[in-house]
Each structure stands twice: as structure tokens, then as C-alpha cells.
Amino acid sequence: MSFFVVTTRLMRLGFRLVFVAFYFTSVMLFAASLRNANDRIFYKICAARVYQSRLKQQLAGKQLRLENMINPASVSQQVGH
């Protein structure tokens, strides 16, 4: 084999290794970005659930206050007093 043929084969192998390394790196970066996006979405969902729970508690308290203003006896019967 001549020097040119050996050099060409080594260059092809080198290009393949560079391509594989580039591909692997890009896949890993993409996976990390997906994980980061997933974490952000999960946090937003949890925050929305907490906010929804607080709103429900506030609404229940306002409903009890309104019922107490309208008919105090029925509220005390429902609460068990």
C-alpha cells in the first residue's frame, strides 16, 4: 500500500470519529435541554395547583361568611356546632 492510501483511510476514520463525537454531543445537549424544559413545566404545573388550591380555600371561606350573614343557624348546623 502506498502512503496516500493509508493516509486516506486514516482520514476517513478520523472524519467518522469526529462525526460520531459531534452527533453524540449534540444528542446529549438536546436531551439536557429537554430535561430542563420538563423541569420548568413540572414546576409551573405544581405552582398552578398550589394557586388553585389557595383560590378554592378562599372561595370556601367567602361562601361560609356569606352563608353566615344570610342565615347563621344553618352554618352552625353544617359545621356541627
Residue 16 Cα distances to 13, 22, 50, angstroms: 5, 10, 51
Helix axis angle, 72-79 to 3-70, nearest 10°: 130
Neighbours of 14 (CB within 10 A): 10
CB atoms within 10 A of CB 60: 10
Query: Would you state the pLDDT for residue 5?
Result: 60
Q: Per-10-residue mean pLDDT for the chain, 81 residues long? A: 63 84 95 92 96 96 87 64 54
Return the residue matching grid coordinates 405544581. Answer: 46
